[in-house]
Amino acid sequence: MPALVNRDACDACAGRERQECIFNCPYDAIRLAGGKAEVDGDRCDECKICIEVCPVRAIVLE
């Protein structure tokens, strides 16, 4: 199952230089949508990098 973003917890890395999940995803599976990170399940390879780098722990595997 692909990674999922808890939209209530995601702050799109507010106040940070970049969105770590987007910057670090080797599969280009994450983008911003409505001011929150969103994972493209078709592109996600479940590598867990986004989970490890999210500063607010808003991303989990289903």
Over residues 40-51, the mean pLDDT reads 97
How many separate domains does the chain show?
1
Q: What is the pLDDT of residue 61?
A: 92
Which CATH number fits the domain that encloses residue 15? 3.30.70.20
* pLDDT(40) > 90: yes
What is the tens place of the pLDDT at every residue in 5-31?
Answer: 999 999 999 999 999 999 999 999 999
Range(s) of the domain holding residue 52: 3-61
Distances (CA, A) of 11 to 14, 40, 46: 6, 18, 22
Residue carrying the six token digits 């670090």: 24
Instruction: Give the integer Cα–Cα distance in Å for 43 and 10.
Output: 20
pLDDT at 1 over 90: no
pTM of the full structure: 0.90
Share of the chain above pLDDT 70, in %: 100
